[in-house]
Amino acid sequence: MSSEMAISVEGLSKHYHLYEKPFQRLLQMFTGRRKQYFNTRRVLNDISFQIKKGETVGIIGRNGSGKSTLLQLICGLLNPNAGSIKTHGRIAALLELGAGFNPEFTGRENIYLNGIMLGLSVEEIDEKYTAIEAFAEIGDYIEQPVKTYSSGMYVRLAFAIQANIDPEILIVDEALAVGDAFFVHRCMDRLHQLQARGTSILLVTHDGMLVKRFCNRAIWLDQGRIRAIGASSPVVDEYLTSLFQIENPVEQPCTPPERTASRGNMEEHIANIDRRLGDQRCQVIGARLYDAHRNPIDEVRGGSDVILRFTVANVSLTAETPLVFGYIVRNMRGEEIASTNTRLEHMAAMSFASMHERLTVEARIHIPLLYPGHYSLSVGASYTPGTGVPLIVADRIVNALIFNVSCHKEICTPIYFDTTFSIDRVP
């Protein structure tokens, strides 16, 4: 195992024997391999990946895809049927609710129990106890048996322990979904601190946006196999596309519809195409950004209004097929910071009246005070073939427009909230 790697998993497989009736387990013990009374359920099948030191990786997938089993194998709580797992560094794990707690012990006693299990001395736990207690913020319950705790208090104490022992590898399995909003923000702040210190983090969650924003890479598990692994944003997009049964938005070479002469209400130029997604049954043929006076712009001043225009041409959609148009804004790190579409804005659905017709979409957008730098706009069109049927992506151009944002205020965070202070002198 390379010294640069925190976790290395090679050819990992895990299966269970399922018996229809309890007495069949006893029969199996006596018959050995001569007769089989069980069915084999494969939870993980030939899983291989590596996580570098200091890397944050998200694991996504449907319920039952093997995510939690994978984490338990990495933590040593389960033994694999095949393959190997190598780790380098102290592992702290926040798995299912209450894992590692003795319900009869108090919160204080469980802090020491968990610390010793993680390899800390009593003196080291003494040094960290005050920080753990303050982070958990459960008050006098720290002296009560944890069997009296609510689910939220369980998670508060468990996360406080795991996140404050200075782990080299932190493994989290959906635990933050239980906490309240304030505690989740506190946890995320702590996770960012651990990231900055070089802690390797393995995170299982159903929150795709969290994976995009927080993780360097993502692993998509599907029925016990790795369906995709790579940069977090495209892997999450691919997973969500499959999850919501949107037609596979793979990159496709496409021949744009035959263009007619330019008209005043039509856009015919696309500045940039990083990726083109969708089935191409209609296509974006032009996009442009304008200021409030309809002058073409490439730079936007924070706090001003802009007009986004893009033209979509029909290729093979039948007349009266309901259409949805929208956009996505990404920052310099590729994080999606804003998006909407005509459906979310409660606009009546439009449709093409004929084959090869063109529609120009216009969106007036107020740009808030953003951190100065480059941003991108992705534009697209989707359709639905019937009532209650999920949207199908027809065409989405990723990063079609790049624009620079300037700001008249000094901003140290991604966005600024317009604020007015008042101060009263207290006698």
Q: Which pLDDT does position 413 carry in this prediction?
A: 82
Q: CATH code at 21?
A: 3.40.50.300
Residues of the domain holding 353:
275-406
Q: What is the pLDDT of residues 36-73, one digit of tens each?
A: 766 778 889 999 999 999 999 999 998 889 998 999 99
Q: Which of 193, 228, 243 is the last residue of a domain?
A: 243
Same domain, 152 and 301: no
CATH number where 328 lies: 2.70.50.60
Mark whether 216 and 325 lie in a shared domain: no
* 231 plus 359 within the same structural domain: no
Query: What single-letter DSSP state applies at residue 139?
Result: G
- Residue pLDDT, tens place only, 71-80: 999 988 889 9
162 lies in the same domain as 52: yes
Tell whether 319 and 174 lie within a shared domain: no
What is the pLDDT, as a whole number, of residue 2?
A: 60
Same-domain pairing of 371 and 226: no
Residue 112 has pLDDT above 50, yes or no: yes
**CA 122 to each of CA 94, 127, 136, 139, 142: distance values in angstroms, whole numbers, following the listed order:** 21, 9, 19, 22, 18
My answer on whether 80 and 183 are in the same domain is yes
Buried residues in 41-63 as b, exposed as e (16+ CB within 10 A): eebbbebebbbebbbbbbbbbee
Indicate whether 262 belongs to any domain: no
Residue 347 in any domain: the answer is yes
Q: Are residues 238 and 344 in the same domain?
A: no
**Between these two residues, 281 and 38, which has the higher pLDDT value?**
281
Q: Are 295 and 228 contained in the same domain?
A: no
- Measured CA to CA, the distance from residue 101 to residue 79 in angstroms comes to 21
Question: How many independent structural domains does the chain possess?
Answer: 2
Residue whose structure tokens are 């500045």 = 271
Angle between helix 107-117 and 151-163 (nearest 10): 40
Q: Which candidate, 400, 403, 399, places its Cα nearest to that of 291?
A: 403
Q: Is residue 251 part of a domain?
A: no
